[in-house]
Amino acid sequence: MIAHSVAAAWWDAKDVLSSLPAYLVSAVREGAARDRRGLAGEDPGPARAVEEGVGWLCRAQDRSASADGGFARHFGLTDGWAPSYPETTGYIVPTLLASSDPALIERARRALDWLAAIQMDSGAFQGGVVNDPNKSQVVFNTGQVLLGFAAGARVFGKAEYADVMERAAGWLVTHQHSDGSWRRFGGPYAPPGPKTYQTHVAWGLFEAARIASRPQWGDTALANVRWAISHQRENGWFELCCLVHDDRPLTHTLGYALRGVIEAWKYSGETAFLTAARCTADGLIKPLGSDGFLPGRLTPDWRAASRWACLTGTAQIAECWLLLHEATGDLRYRNAALIANRYVRRTIRLDGNPDLRGAVQGSFPVWGAYNRFVFPNWACKFMVDANRREMALLEKVVADG
Protein backbone atom coordinates (compact mmCIF):
# COMPACT_ATOMS: atom_id res chain seq x y z
CA MET A 1 0.00 0.00 0.00
CA ILE A 2 1.18 3.50 -0.79
CA ALA A 3 1.18 6.60 1.37
CA HIS A 4 -1.25 9.28 0.27
CA SER A 5 -1.31 12.98 0.92
CA VAL A 6 -4.88 14.23 0.78
CA ALA A 7 -3.78 17.81 0.32
CA ALA A 8 -1.52 16.91 -2.58
CA ALA A 9 -4.29 14.93 -4.25
CA TRP A 10 -6.82 17.78 -4.36
CA TRP A 11 -6.98 20.78 -6.60
CA ASP A 12 -7.48 24.09 -4.87
CA ALA A 13 -10.99 24.13 -3.39
CA LYS A 14 -11.04 27.91 -3.60
CA ASP A 15 -10.91 27.66 -7.39
CA VAL A 16 -13.77 25.18 -7.33
CA LEU A 17 -15.89 27.33 -5.04
CA SER A 18 -15.27 30.47 -7.06
CA SER A 19 -16.45 28.72 -10.23
CA LEU A 20 -19.75 27.46 -8.80
CA PRO A 21 -22.84 28.83 -10.56
CA ALA A 22 -24.88 31.29 -8.54
CA TYR A 23 -27.90 28.99 -8.36
CA LEU A 24 -26.08 26.46 -6.23
CA VAL A 25 -27.42 26.59 -2.73
CA SER A 26 -25.43 27.32 0.38
CA ALA A 27 -25.37 23.61 1.21
CA VAL A 28 -23.04 23.07 -1.75
CA ARG A 29 -20.58 25.62 -0.48
CA GLU A 30 -20.85 24.23 3.02
CA GLY A 31 -20.27 20.68 1.75
CA ALA A 32 -17.26 21.74 -0.29
CA ALA A 33 -15.80 23.65 2.64
CA ARG A 34 -16.33 20.61 4.87
CA ASP A 35 -14.40 18.33 2.54
CA ARG A 36 -11.68 20.92 2.07
CA ARG A 37 -10.93 20.43 5.77
CA GLY A 38 -10.33 16.74 5.08
CA LEU A 39 -11.62 13.55 6.65
CA ALA A 40 -13.21 13.59 10.08
CA GLY A 41 -10.73 12.89 12.84
CA GLU A 42 -12.96 10.31 14.51
CA ASP A 43 -13.83 6.94 13.04
CA PRO A 44 -17.40 6.12 14.18
CA GLY A 45 -16.75 2.40 13.74
CA PRO A 46 -18.72 -0.09 11.65
CA ALA A 47 -21.72 -0.51 13.96
CA ARG A 48 -22.49 3.22 14.09
CA ALA A 49 -21.93 3.56 10.34
CA VAL A 50 -24.37 0.72 9.64
CA GLU A 51 -26.97 2.17 12.01
CA GLU A 52 -26.79 5.63 10.44
CA GLY A 53 -26.65 4.25 6.89
CA VAL A 54 -29.72 2.08 7.33
CA GLY A 55 -31.54 5.05 8.82
CA TRP A 56 -30.70 7.14 5.77
CA LEU A 57 -31.87 4.38 3.39
CA CYS A 58 -35.20 4.36 5.21
CA ARG A 59 -35.49 8.10 4.68
CA ALA A 60 -34.58 7.63 1.01
CA GLN A 61 -37.60 5.35 0.68
CA ASP A 62 -39.91 7.63 2.63
CA ARG A 63 -38.83 10.84 0.91
CA SER A 64 -38.53 9.67 -2.67
CA ALA A 65 -39.88 12.39 -4.95
CA SER A 66 -42.09 9.80 -6.67
CA ALA A 67 -43.48 8.49 -3.33
CA ASP A 68 -44.08 4.96 -4.58
CA GLY A 69 -42.27 2.51 -2.30
CA GLY A 70 -38.98 2.63 -4.19
CA PHE A 71 -35.80 4.29 -2.98
CA ALA A 72 -34.91 7.79 -4.13
CA ARG A 73 -31.98 7.65 -6.51
CA HIS A 74 -30.16 10.23 -4.42
CA PHE A 75 -30.27 13.30 -2.29
CA GLY A 76 -28.56 16.13 -4.14
CA LEU A 77 -27.25 19.34 -2.66
CA THR A 78 -28.65 21.15 -5.70
CA ASP A 79 -31.89 19.21 -6.35
CA GLY A 80 -32.95 17.51 -3.11
CA TRP A 81 -34.59 14.09 -3.13
CA ALA A 82 -34.80 12.38 -6.52
CA PRO A 83 -37.50 9.99 -7.78
CA SER A 84 -37.20 6.27 -7.13
CA TYR A 85 -34.56 4.27 -8.99
CA PRO A 86 -35.64 0.71 -9.91
CA GLU A 87 -32.10 -0.63 -10.49
CA THR A 88 -30.68 0.19 -7.09
CA THR A 89 -33.97 -0.38 -5.26
CA GLY A 90 -33.54 -3.96 -6.48
CA TYR A 91 -30.22 -4.54 -4.78
CA ILE A 92 -31.03 -2.48 -1.69
CA VAL A 93 -33.66 -5.12 -0.91
CA PRO A 94 -31.08 -7.80 0.08
CA THR A 95 -29.41 -5.25 2.36
CA LEU A 96 -32.68 -4.71 4.22
CA LEU A 97 -33.50 -8.42 4.31
CA ALA A 98 -30.12 -9.17 5.88
CA SER A 99 -31.57 -7.63 9.05
CA SER A 100 -33.89 -9.37 11.49
CA ASP A 101 -35.77 -6.10 12.07
CA PRO A 102 -39.43 -6.63 11.05
CA ALA A 103 -39.73 -2.99 10.02
CA LEU A 104 -36.86 -3.32 7.54
CA ILE A 105 -38.26 -6.58 6.20
CA GLU A 106 -41.58 -4.86 5.61
CA ARG A 107 -39.80 -2.05 3.80
CA ALA A 108 -38.15 -4.61 1.55
CA ARG A 109 -41.52 -6.16 0.75
CA ARG A 110 -42.96 -2.76 -0.10
CA ALA A 111 -40.06 -2.14 -2.48
CA LEU A 112 -40.48 -5.54 -4.13
CA ASP A 113 -44.20 -5.03 -4.60
CA TRP A 114 -43.49 -1.72 -6.29
CA LEU A 115 -40.87 -3.29 -8.56
CA ALA A 116 -43.22 -6.11 -9.49
CA ALA A 117 -45.85 -3.55 -10.47
CA ILE A 118 -43.49 -1.74 -12.85
CA GLN A 119 -41.94 -4.78 -14.55
CA MET A 120 -42.12 -4.31 -18.31
CA ASP A 121 -44.23 -6.62 -20.46
CA SER A 122 -41.07 -8.27 -21.80
CA GLY A 123 -39.94 -9.22 -18.29
CA ALA A 124 -37.16 -6.62 -18.27
CA PHE A 125 -36.79 -3.59 -16.04
CA GLN A 126 -36.24 -0.05 -17.19
CA GLY A 127 -33.17 2.12 -16.98
CA GLY A 128 -33.10 5.48 -15.23
CA VAL A 129 -35.43 6.79 -12.57
CA VAL A 130 -39.01 5.59 -12.58
CA ASN A 131 -40.46 8.63 -14.29
CA ASP A 132 -37.82 8.82 -17.00
CA PRO A 133 -39.74 9.86 -20.15
CA ASN A 134 -37.60 7.57 -22.34
CA LYS A 135 -38.15 4.23 -20.67
CA SER A 136 -36.16 1.39 -22.18
CA GLN A 137 -35.46 -2.18 -21.15
CA VAL A 138 -31.92 -2.58 -19.78
CA VAL A 139 -29.87 -5.72 -19.13
CA PHE A 140 -27.89 -4.33 -16.21
CA ASN A 141 -30.88 -2.94 -14.36
CA THR A 142 -32.81 -6.17 -14.84
CA GLY A 143 -29.95 -8.15 -13.29
CA GLN A 144 -29.82 -5.88 -10.27
CA VAL A 145 -33.56 -6.10 -9.68
CA LEU A 146 -33.23 -9.88 -9.96
CA LEU A 147 -30.94 -9.80 -6.91
CA GLY A 148 -33.80 -8.27 -4.96
CA PHE A 149 -36.40 -10.77 -6.07
CA ALA A 150 -34.12 -13.72 -5.35
CA ALA A 151 -33.58 -12.40 -1.83
CA GLY A 152 -37.32 -11.79 -1.48
CA ALA A 153 -38.16 -15.31 -2.59
CA ARG A 154 -35.67 -16.67 -0.06
CA VAL A 155 -37.30 -14.77 2.81
CA PHE A 156 -40.96 -14.70 1.80
CA GLY A 157 -41.19 -18.04 -0.01
CA LYS A 158 -40.35 -19.23 -3.51
CA ALA A 159 -43.87 -18.75 -4.81
CA GLU A 160 -44.11 -15.13 -3.69
CA TYR A 161 -42.26 -13.61 -6.63
CA ALA A 162 -41.74 -16.65 -8.86
CA ASP A 163 -43.40 -15.14 -11.91
CA VAL A 164 -41.38 -11.92 -11.75
CA MET A 165 -38.15 -13.89 -11.40
CA GLU A 166 -39.03 -16.25 -14.24
CA ARG A 167 -39.82 -13.44 -16.63
CA ALA A 168 -36.78 -11.33 -15.74
CA ALA A 169 -34.32 -14.22 -15.88
CA GLY A 170 -35.91 -15.53 -19.07
CA TRP A 171 -35.48 -12.14 -20.73
CA LEU A 172 -31.79 -12.04 -19.78
CA VAL A 173 -31.18 -15.56 -21.08
CA THR A 174 -32.98 -14.82 -24.34
CA HIS A 175 -30.90 -11.74 -25.09
CA GLN A 176 -27.45 -13.11 -24.25
CA HIS A 177 -25.00 -13.18 -27.18
CA SER A 178 -23.46 -16.49 -28.20
CA ASP A 179 -20.07 -15.49 -26.69
CA GLY A 180 -21.63 -14.98 -23.23
CA SER A 181 -21.83 -11.19 -23.33
CA TRP A 182 -24.85 -8.94 -23.49
CA ARG A 183 -24.48 -6.64 -26.47
CA ARG A 184 -27.91 -5.01 -26.59
CA PHE A 185 -30.07 -3.08 -24.13
CA GLY A 186 -27.15 -1.27 -22.55
CA GLY A 187 -29.04 1.55 -20.90
CA PRO A 188 -28.94 5.35 -20.90
CA TYR A 189 -25.61 5.95 -19.12
CA ALA A 190 -23.16 3.97 -21.24
CA PRO A 191 -22.38 3.70 -24.96
CA PRO A 192 -23.62 0.60 -26.81
CA GLY A 193 -21.68 -2.62 -26.58
CA PRO A 194 -20.82 -5.34 -24.06
CA LYS A 195 -19.36 -4.49 -20.66
CA THR A 196 -17.29 -6.65 -18.35
CA TYR A 197 -19.00 -5.14 -15.30
CA GLN A 198 -22.10 -7.05 -16.38
CA THR A 199 -20.76 -9.92 -14.30
CA HIS A 200 -22.92 -8.22 -11.69
CA VAL A 201 -25.89 -9.20 -13.87
CA ALA A 202 -24.56 -12.76 -13.79
CA TRP A 203 -24.70 -12.59 -9.99
CA GLY A 204 -28.43 -11.90 -10.18
CA LEU A 205 -28.85 -15.01 -12.31
CA PHE A 206 -26.78 -17.10 -9.88
CA GLU A 207 -29.05 -16.10 -7.01
CA ALA A 208 -32.22 -16.73 -9.00
CA ALA A 209 -30.88 -20.09 -10.22
CA ARG A 210 -30.33 -21.23 -6.64
CA ILE A 211 -33.78 -20.19 -5.48
CA ALA A 212 -35.70 -21.51 -8.47
CA SER A 213 -33.55 -24.61 -9.06
CA ARG A 214 -32.93 -23.49 -12.63
CA PRO A 215 -29.34 -24.51 -13.47
CA GLN A 216 -29.71 -23.17 -17.00
CA TRP A 217 -29.81 -19.66 -15.56
CA GLY A 218 -26.54 -20.40 -13.75
CA ASP A 219 -25.01 -21.69 -16.98
CA THR A 220 -25.94 -18.45 -18.70
CA ALA A 221 -24.30 -16.49 -15.89
CA LEU A 222 -21.11 -18.56 -15.95
CA ALA A 223 -20.82 -18.01 -19.70
CA ASN A 224 -20.91 -14.27 -19.10
CA VAL A 225 -18.20 -14.37 -16.43
CA ARG A 226 -15.99 -16.52 -18.66
CA TRP A 227 -16.43 -13.94 -21.41
CA ALA A 228 -15.49 -11.15 -18.99
CA ILE A 229 -12.36 -12.97 -17.87
CA SER A 230 -11.29 -13.23 -21.50
CA HIS A 231 -11.02 -9.43 -21.32
CA GLN A 232 -8.99 -9.46 -18.12
CA ARG A 233 -5.30 -8.61 -18.48
CA GLU A 234 -2.53 -10.55 -16.76
CA ASN A 235 -2.34 -7.91 -14.04
CA GLY A 236 -6.08 -8.28 -13.28
CA TRP A 237 -7.28 -5.07 -14.97
CA PHE A 238 -10.55 -5.41 -16.92
CA GLU A 239 -11.14 -3.93 -20.34
CA LEU A 240 -14.62 -2.67 -21.30
CA CYS A 241 -15.27 -1.92 -17.65
CA CYS A 242 -16.56 1.63 -17.44
CA LEU A 243 -19.63 3.67 -18.27
CA VAL A 244 -17.61 6.14 -20.33
CA HIS A 245 -13.81 5.86 -20.06
CA ASP A 246 -12.65 2.31 -20.70
CA ASP A 247 -9.00 3.41 -20.42
CA ARG A 248 -9.53 4.64 -16.85
CA PRO A 249 -12.52 2.83 -15.34
CA LEU A 250 -14.27 3.81 -12.15
CA THR A 251 -13.60 1.76 -9.05
CA HIS A 252 -17.40 1.45 -8.97
CA THR A 253 -17.55 -0.55 -12.20
CA LEU A 254 -14.37 -2.45 -11.36
CA GLY A 255 -16.07 -3.38 -8.09
CA TYR A 256 -19.09 -4.66 -10.00
CA ALA A 257 -16.87 -6.81 -12.22
CA LEU A 258 -14.87 -8.19 -9.31
CA ARG A 259 -17.94 -9.12 -7.28
CA GLY A 260 -19.44 -11.00 -10.21
CA VAL A 261 -16.29 -13.07 -10.61
CA ILE A 262 -16.24 -13.88 -6.89
CA GLU A 263 -19.88 -14.96 -7.09
CA ALA A 264 -19.08 -17.19 -10.09
CA TRP A 265 -16.50 -18.97 -7.94
CA LYS A 266 -18.96 -19.30 -5.05
CA TYR A 267 -21.61 -20.70 -7.41
CA SER A 268 -19.42 -23.12 -9.36
CA GLY A 269 -16.42 -23.84 -7.16
CA GLU A 270 -14.18 -23.46 -10.22
CA THR A 271 -10.69 -22.42 -9.17
CA ALA A 272 -10.20 -20.33 -12.31
CA PHE A 273 -12.75 -17.82 -11.06
CA LEU A 274 -11.07 -17.48 -7.67
CA THR A 275 -7.70 -17.03 -9.37
CA ALA A 276 -9.12 -14.32 -11.63
CA ALA A 277 -10.77 -12.55 -8.70
CA ARG A 278 -7.54 -12.57 -6.69
CA CYS A 279 -5.62 -11.16 -9.63
CA THR A 280 -7.93 -8.13 -9.79
CA ALA A 281 -8.07 -7.77 -6.01
CA ASP A 282 -4.27 -7.77 -5.84
CA GLY A 283 -4.11 -5.08 -8.49
CA LEU A 284 -6.56 -2.90 -6.59
CA ILE A 285 -4.39 -3.00 -3.46
CA LYS A 286 -1.53 -1.29 -5.31
CA PRO A 287 -3.05 2.22 -5.52
CA LEU A 288 -4.62 2.07 -2.06
CA GLY A 289 -3.26 4.80 0.20
CA SER A 290 -2.18 4.11 3.76
CA ASP A 291 -5.14 6.25 4.89
CA GLY A 292 -7.60 4.20 2.82
CA PHE A 293 -7.82 6.59 -0.13
CA LEU A 294 -8.48 4.69 -3.37
CA PRO A 295 -8.45 6.84 -6.53
CA GLY A 296 -11.85 6.90 -8.18
CA ARG A 297 -10.43 6.06 -11.62
CA LEU A 298 -7.52 3.75 -12.40
CA THR A 299 -5.28 3.19 -15.41
CA PRO A 300 -4.41 -0.23 -16.87
CA ASP A 301 -1.26 -0.38 -14.72
CA TRP A 302 -3.28 0.34 -11.56
CA ARG A 303 -2.20 3.94 -11.23
CA ALA A 304 -4.40 6.83 -10.14
CA ALA A 305 -6.36 8.54 -12.90
CA SER A 306 -8.24 10.88 -10.55
CA ARG A 307 -7.55 13.00 -7.49
CA TRP A 308 -10.84 12.07 -5.85
CA ALA A 309 -12.24 8.86 -4.42
CA CYS A 310 -15.40 7.18 -5.69
CA LEU A 311 -16.75 6.15 -2.30
CA THR A 312 -19.16 3.65 -3.86
CA GLY A 313 -16.28 1.80 -5.47
CA THR A 314 -14.19 1.92 -2.31
CA ALA A 315 -16.99 0.28 -0.31
CA GLN A 316 -17.68 -2.34 -3.00
CA ILE A 317 -14.04 -3.30 -3.26
CA ALA A 318 -13.65 -3.40 0.51
CA GLU A 319 -16.39 -6.00 0.73
CA CYS A 320 -14.79 -7.98 -2.09
CA TRP A 321 -11.47 -7.96 -0.21
CA LEU A 322 -13.28 -9.27 2.87
CA LEU A 323 -14.93 -12.03 0.85
CA LEU A 324 -11.54 -13.04 -0.52
CA HIS A 325 -10.03 -12.97 2.95
CA GLU A 326 -12.77 -15.34 4.08
CA ALA A 327 -12.03 -17.59 1.11
CA THR A 328 -8.25 -17.62 1.32
CA GLY A 329 -7.17 -16.39 4.75
CA ASP A 330 -4.91 -13.84 3.04
CA LEU A 331 -4.37 -11.04 5.56
CA ARG A 332 -3.57 -8.51 2.83
CA TYR A 333 -7.22 -8.52 1.82
CA ARG A 334 -8.43 -8.09 5.37
CA ASN A 335 -6.03 -5.24 6.07
CA ALA A 336 -6.88 -3.43 2.83
CA ALA A 337 -10.60 -3.74 3.52
CA LEU A 338 -10.33 -2.42 7.04
CA ILE A 339 -8.54 0.77 6.09
CA ALA A 340 -10.79 1.31 3.04
CA ASN A 341 -13.90 0.94 5.19
CA ARG A 342 -12.45 3.33 7.74
CA TYR A 343 -11.82 5.93 5.03
CA VAL A 344 -15.44 5.83 3.87
CA ARG A 345 -16.78 5.95 7.43
CA ARG A 346 -14.81 9.11 8.14
CA THR A 347 -16.68 10.91 5.34
CA ILE A 348 -20.14 10.25 6.82
CA ARG A 349 -22.14 12.90 8.66
CA LEU A 350 -23.35 11.57 12.00
CA ASP A 351 -25.61 14.42 13.06
CA GLY A 352 -27.37 17.47 11.72
CA ASN A 353 -29.54 17.56 8.60
CA PRO A 354 -31.41 14.21 8.39
CA ASP A 355 -31.27 14.35 4.60
CA LEU A 356 -27.50 14.00 4.88
CA ARG A 357 -27.04 12.12 8.15
CA GLY A 358 -25.80 8.61 7.38
CA ALA A 359 -25.59 9.29 3.63
CA VAL A 360 -22.50 8.55 1.53
CA GLN A 361 -21.53 11.06 -1.11
CA GLY A 362 -20.62 10.04 -4.63
CA SER A 363 -17.10 11.46 -4.50
CA PHE A 364 -14.71 12.58 -1.84
CA PRO A 365 -14.22 15.46 -1.97
CA VAL A 366 -17.84 16.19 -2.82
CA TRP A 367 -16.90 18.10 -5.97
CA GLY A 368 -15.18 15.03 -7.48
CA ALA A 369 -16.42 13.96 -10.89
CA TYR A 370 -18.49 10.93 -9.81
CA ASN A 371 -22.00 12.07 -8.84
CA ARG A 372 -20.75 15.54 -7.97
CA PHE A 373 -22.61 17.13 -5.02
CA VAL A 374 -24.84 14.04 -4.84
CA PHE A 375 -25.42 11.34 -2.20
CA PRO A 376 -26.49 8.25 -4.21
CA ASN A 377 -28.52 5.54 -2.52
CA TRP A 378 -26.20 2.80 -3.81
CA ALA A 379 -23.16 4.40 -2.16
CA CYS A 380 -24.90 4.06 1.19
CA LYS A 381 -26.05 0.51 0.42
CA PHE A 382 -22.54 -0.69 -0.38
CA MET A 383 -21.14 1.06 2.69
CA VAL A 384 -23.66 -0.77 4.89
CA ASP A 385 -22.86 -4.13 3.28
CA ALA A 386 -19.09 -3.69 3.63
CA ASN A 387 -19.32 -2.64 7.27
CA ARG A 388 -21.67 -5.46 8.17
CA ARG A 389 -19.15 -7.88 6.71
CA GLU A 390 -16.40 -6.22 8.74
CA MET A 391 -18.51 -6.61 11.87
CA ALA A 392 -19.03 -10.30 11.10
CA LEU A 393 -15.28 -10.74 10.67
CA LEU A 394 -14.55 -9.06 13.99
CA GLU A 395 -17.19 -11.17 15.74
CA LYS A 396 -15.56 -14.30 14.35
CA VAL A 397 -12.13 -13.20 15.52
CA VAL A 398 -13.51 -12.67 19.03
CA ALA A 399 -15.34 -16.01 18.98
CA ASP A 400 -12.21 -17.85 17.84
CA GLY A 401 -10.22 -16.24 20.61
Cα separation, 345 vs 43, in Å, equals 6
- Domain 6-400 falls in which CATH fold? Glycosyltransferase (1.50.10)
Tell me 11's DSSP state: P
pLDDT: which is higher, 188 or 109: 109
Whole-number Cα distances in Å, 321 to 43, 47, 254: 20, 19, 13
Q: Which pLDDT does position 8 carry in this prediction?
A: 36
SS3 216: helix
pLDDT in tens, 130-149: 999 888 999 999 999 999 99
Average pLDDT over residues 292-310: 97
Q: Which pLDDT does position 4 carry in this prediction?
A: 46
Q: Which pLDDT does position 15 carry in this prediction?
A: 55
Cα separation, 173 vs 40, in Å, equals 46
Whether the pLDDT of residue 12 is over 50: the answer is no
Yes or no: say if 386 and 318 are a contact pair by the CB < 8 Å rule.
Answer: yes
Q: Which pLDDT does position 281 carry in this prediction?
A: 98
- Other Cβ atoms less than 10 A from the Cβ of 128: the count is 20
Cα separation, 170 vs 174, in Å, equals 6
Average pLDDT over residues 287-301: 98
Cα separation, 153 vs 287, in Å, equals 39
**In sequence order, what are the residues at sequence separation of 6 or more whose Cβ sits closer than 8 angstroms to the Cβ of residue 368?**
296, 306, 307, 308, 309, 310, 362
SS3 101: coil
Whether the pLDDT of residue 23 is over 60: the answer is no
Q: Is 354 exposed, middle or buried (0-12, 13-18, 19+ CB in 10 A)?
A: middle
pLDDT in tens, 83-92: 999 999 999 9
> Where are the domains positioned within the chain?
6-400
Helices (H), 37-187: 45-62, 86-97, 102-118, 139-156, 162-174
Phi, psi of 324 (to 5 degrees): -70, -30
Tell whether the torsion through CA atoms of 89, 281, 394 and 359 is positive or negative.
Answer: negative
Q: Could you tell me the pLDDT band of residue 18, with boundaries at 50, 70 and 90?
A: low
Nearest of 79, 198, 203, 195 to residue 150 by alpha carbon: 203
Yes or no: say if 85 and 57 are a contact pair by the CB < 8 Å rule.
Answer: no
